[in-house]
Amino acid sequence: MTNTLHRFGDADSFRDDYVIFAIPARSNNPENTLPALRRFLEIAIEYKPVNLGDARNGGALRPSRSLSPLNHWWRDSSLNYQAVLDGLTHPTTCSAVFDNPTAAEDFLKRIKEEDLGLSVNISTSIDGAEQCCNHACIPRHSVGYSLGFEGETEKLPNSQVLMLSTMCGHGMISHSLAKKMIDFVKEGRRTPKEAASVLTRFCSCGVFNPVRAARIIEDARTKTT
């Protein structure tokens, strides 16, 4: 089970969203687990993920305590993979996010070949996960599926805001912030990529997909539902 299952959207909306996790057993010795997790992340970097992270420290694009107002316009938004590797000091869940199926499939196949002794799961559409498993010659053993929202759904924000805010399974991206970034893009105050970078920094475990976010924000320029 992973909280990324609560990502909102239809199956097609996950065509550029593949999250692959590595989870160590709680009983594992840290001396054995940390090298395996670090190797998982190092291999992921070879396949050019759009985000990389661990559940303790966050992703490859992080907030900072040393900012000035000028950072709103000239902030470095490049992914810092090395910070993720350097910050891995305790066993935890690690993740790699890809925006294309080929990279995700090849990475999963490579991880199977490495046999790191970690539990690995995939979060994307069911068909996308099935294709990844087939490519790596892995029989799918289970499926976790979120049932979505129930109740007075008319009180929910629109679909673009939901797709953005639910990309952080820990709820660290508020509906208001997601809507604000969409409005900034509509007003010409940010590009979709810049707005997506702002949202990415708030995800505390590194599973936010800035490429999918930029696409959603671009679509939201004209859509309202």
Three-state DSSP state, 208: coil
Residue 133: C-alpha distances to residues 4, 15, 151 (Å): 18, 16, 35
Mean pLDDT of the chain: 90
Residues 164-174 have pLDDT tens digits of 999 987 889 99
pLDDT digits (tens, 9 = 90+) for 83-107: 999 999 989 999 999 999 999 999 9
Q: The tokens of 104 are what?
A: 């995700």
Mean pLDDT on 60-82: 77
Most confident range (mean pLDDT) of 24-38, 85-99, 142-156 is 85-99
pLDDT at position 70 is 65
Q: Which of 38-47, 73-82, 124-133, 195-204 has the lowest mean pLDDT?
A: 73-82
Query: Does the structure show a pLDDT above 80 at 73?
Result: no
Task: At 119, list the tokens.
Answer: 């539990």
Query: Which of 95, 127, 88, 40 lies closest to 206 in space, CA to CA?
Result: 95
Between CA 66 and CA 74 the distance in angstroms is 14
Q: What CA–CA distance (Å, rounded) separates 124 from 126?
A: 6
Encoded amino acid at 70, one letter: L
pLDDT of 182 above 70: yes
Taking residues 177-193, report their average pLDDT. Answer: 94
DSSP-assigned letter for residue 6: G
The H or E element spanning position 32 is helix 30-46
Give the Cα separation of 17 and 123 in Å (integer).
Answer: 8
